[in-house]
Amino acid sequence: MMLTGLEGNSVYLITVRGFNSIGQGPASTASTAKTRKDPPVQPPANLVWIQEGTNVSLNWDPVKSKDNESDVIGYKVLLSQEGRVHNQVLRTITPSAVLSLPEGGTYIIEVRAVSEGGEGATSSQVRVLTSSGVRVKSGQRSVHSLLPWGLTWPWTTALLLSVSLVPSASW
C-alpha cells in the first residue's frame, strides 16, 4: 500500500487494522513516519556552455534551497537527440558538466537539481547542433549563454563583451 497526498517535512503516525465479514480487528502498534522536504522549486539558472567540436562544457549557478525545501545534493543533466526521449543521464555534484555528443544531430540538454525530496524544476533547454562529417578544429570553439527570456547569444573566442556602469553625478 502506498500513501499519497502527504505533506512534505511532516510526521505521521500510522496504524493498520485487519477486517473481515465479522468486523475490524485491533489496531497495530503505531509507527512513526516522517516525510522529506520538497525538492527546490527554482531551476538551475544562467546556463553557459562552450562547444568545442562534439564536446560541450556546461556551467550554471548553484540552486539554493529555501528553508522549506530539501538541500541540493547534486544535479542531473539530461541529454536527448531532438525528437527522441532522454537517452543519456549524467549525474554531478557540482554545477558543471562535460558532455561528448555524437556527430550529426541536434541535441537538447536540460539540468535539474537533485535533493533527498526528489528532483527539482528543469532548466531552460540548451540546443546544440553537431554536423555529420564536419569537424571543428580543436582551436575553434563557441561560447553560449541563455539570456533570462530564453534566447541564446553566441560569443566567439575573439569577442569580449563588457558593460560598464558610470554614475551621471559625482558621489
- Would you call 73 helix, strand, or coil by DSSP? strand
Residues of the chain with pLDDT under 70: 86, 132-171
**Which residues, other chains included, contact 99 with Cβ-Cβ below 8 Å and sequence gap of 6+?**
55, 56, 58, 77, 79, 88, 90, 109
Looking at residue 159, what is its pLDDT? 33
26: left (phi over 0), alpha (psi -120 to 50) or beta: beta
Which residues partner with 50 through β-bridges?
Answer: 57, 143
What pLDDT, on a 0 to 100 scale, did the predictor assign at position 83? 82
| Residue 85 in grid coordinates | 526521449
What pLDDT digit, counting tens, does each position of 103-137 carry?
788 899 999 999 999 999 999 998 888 875 444 43
Domains of the chain, each with CATH number or no CATH:
45-155 (2.60.40.10)
Residues 6 or more apart in contact with residue 25 via CB below 8 angstroms: 17, 18, 19
Q: Would you state the pLDDT for residue 124?
A: 92
- CB atoms closer than 10 angstroms to residue 106: 13
Give the pLDDT of residue 146: 56
Backbone angles phi, psi at 98, to 5 degrees: -125, 125
User: Which residue, among 79, 124, 125, has the nearest Cα to 105 in the 3D structure?
Assistant: 79
Instruction: Look at residue 132 in the predicted model and tell me its pLDDT.
Output: 56
Matching residue, cell 547542433: 129
Query: What is the model's pLDDT at position 105?
Result: 85
The three cell numbers locating residue 8 = 512534505
Position 26 scores a pLDDT of 93
Residue 21 neighbours by CB distance under 10 Å: 4
Question: Distance between CA 124 and CA 90 in Å, rounded?
Answer: 17
